[in-house]
Amino acid sequence: MRGASTLSYFASAIAVLSGASAQSYNSIPDIEVYGQHFFYTNNGSQFYMRGVAYQQNYSPNGTATNTEYTDPLADGDSCRRDIPYLKQIYTNVIRVYAIDPSANHDDCMEQLASADIYVIADLGEPGTSIQSNDPEWDVTLYQRYTSVIDTLSKYRNVIGFFAGNENVSAGNQTAAAAFVKAAVRDCKGYISSQNYRNTLGVGYATADVPTRDELAHYFACEPGNTGNQTAIDFWGYNVYSWCGDSNYAASSYGERVDFFSDYPVPVFFAEYGCIEGIDDGPTHRPFTEVQVLYGNMTEVFSGGIVYEYFMGENNYGLVSIDGSSVSPYPDFTSLASQLSSIDPTTTQSSTYTPSNSHPACPSTGSSWEAVATPLPPSVNPQLCVCMAASLECNIKSTDDESYAEVFDYICGDNEDYCDGIAHNATTGTYGALSGCDPKDQLAWVANQFYLGNGRNSQACDFNGMATTQSAQTSSGCSSLLDAVGSDGTGTVASPTGRGTAVATGSGAASSSTGAASVLLTPAFFEYGNLVFGIYVSIAVISMVGMFML
């Protein structure tokens, strides 16, 4: 039942959909967020997403053991092969989950712009993203995220970025939302500080989880009314509740419309296309939800992104690829047929006045752990470099697998030594250095321990992991270090320079082969001190004989 489609079909699809001459990524009109909708900036007409997830052989929730991926925007030949088929299913936006910031994307982005196709890109990559069960927002992540922004900001057909994807998938992971929201804040601030175009948005994509309502309110709330600096610009929803020939009620689509009717930013399906219970198998999805998504839901929802273009092990693909040959599956044809008949009601920005306000932040309790404010401090790579140079005792070992034992011992000896690296999302307790990478965080607490033990040389050893050094304060560091304070709990200004301009001990990772995840500081810093005594007792026993004071 699979067959290759012709270029004449592509040409007719272009004519029907765009009605305009080919454009470049420099001339294509921006898509902007205004209230609850997206609009074209050139004529003010409303933009509905007719999207497809476009990334081959990639798991959105990849781990440190599965970090390799192919950058879909760096292969001009593949884009040239696939764009005619993307247009047959009326695509005007693709979602990509990971790109290589060091690669050149001009060819593919130019082709996409010429076909009136926009891009939403996730900022992380497997192994370099905010982890659900051990969340951090640190230098490595900041440099990865800002490098993606740097790379894609010049393309006017980039709508924006996802700072997180399904980071909260269980009830005991809600503390991770604080770190993703801090990433949203810092990425929005970075876009502004670099004078990138103000139409670039930053959002979050959620799974359909029990805490979805709290998540939606948390990411859109703006405590203190500080000018929409921490609230998302759009909300992506990965929804798979409409399977086969379902309906508006059975799929709970109606409940979602009701919930988001007063949401202050655009909402869209960041993934959809259930393959469960499909007659004749997963490649025969009827996509009957399309008529509803682009019908009576359009007052609230801005369309959606089908998961996914490429066929992989999960059986969600619309096409199979064999070299330069593309073979659509039956559900590719179903999707094209459904989209060909939609006629959503559109609004002009000139006649639209946003009226929805930011919701109240969810209260902490049994089902929600993350406090609304404060968030984790802004990551400042320069601060971490300055701090490490200013210490009298520093960590020389790069064996991060051995760090945890030293963390446990030092913080067990005196909890105050670790105030500067605390990151507790349930109480909003954060040290000024909690955004540094683990090696620099360990150096800080090792130095605190060294100073607290009268600068005894044996207090800066830890089986050869640490060493004394001559403390230095480089130009531009004094104000940052003064702001940190001697206990590491001060407030440091947000960075204003390029995110990748400062090299740190851990470095940034941006290759298409992914980055190995780093060992993070002990979990009790994140979730509180309920298990502190256990860590202390284990640490004291394990560290006996490591050194003598």
What angle separates helix 139-152 from helix 176-193, to the nearest 10 degrees? Answer: 40
- Cα separation, 485 vs 468, in Å, equals 21
| Residue 235 phi, psi dihedral angles, 5° rounding | -120, 120
SS3 annotation, 341-353: CCCCCCCEHHHCC
CA 267 to chain centre: 16
Cβ atoms within 10 Å, residue 502: 18
Residue 158 one-letter amino acid = V
The alpha carbon dihedral of 257, 346, 291, 85 has a sign of: negative
CA distances, 155 to each of 47, 142, 148, 433 (Å): 18, 21, 12, 34
Query: What contacts 541, CB < 8 A, 6 or more positions away?
Result: none
Handedness of CA 467, 469, 474, 479 (dihedral sign): positive
Cβ atoms of 113 and 155 closer than 8 Å: yes
Instruction: Tell me how far apart the alpha carbons of residues 354 and 445 are, in angstroms, rounded to a whole number.
Output: 49
Positive or negative, the Cα torsion across 388, 392, 397, 401? negative
Catalytic residue, from 271, 289, 369, 526: name it. Answer: 271
Question: Which residue type does 248 have?
Answer: Y
Contact 437, 374 (CB under 8 A): no
Facing residues of 279 across strands? none
**Which residue, among 82, 108, 107, has the nearest Cα to 4 in the 3D structure?**
82
Active site residue 214: no
Q: What is the CA radius of gyration of the chain?
A: 25
DSSP class of residue 189 equals H
**Catalytic entry in 166, 222, 308, 369:** 166
Would you call 313 a catalytic residue per the annotation? no
d(CA 122, CA 113): 19
Residues 205 and 215: beta-carbon distance below 8 Å: no
CB 130 within 8 A of CB 379: no
Closest CA to 52 of 331, 304, 426, 235: 304
With 0-12 CB in 10 A as exposed, 13-18 as middle and 19+ as buried, what is 500? Answer: middle
Closest CA to 270 of 169, 82, 121, 132: 121
Name the nearest CA neighbour of 155 among 100, 110, 93: 110
User: DSSP labels for 111-131?
Assistant: HHHHTT-EEEEES-BTTBS--
Catalytic residue numbers, as ranges: 166, 271
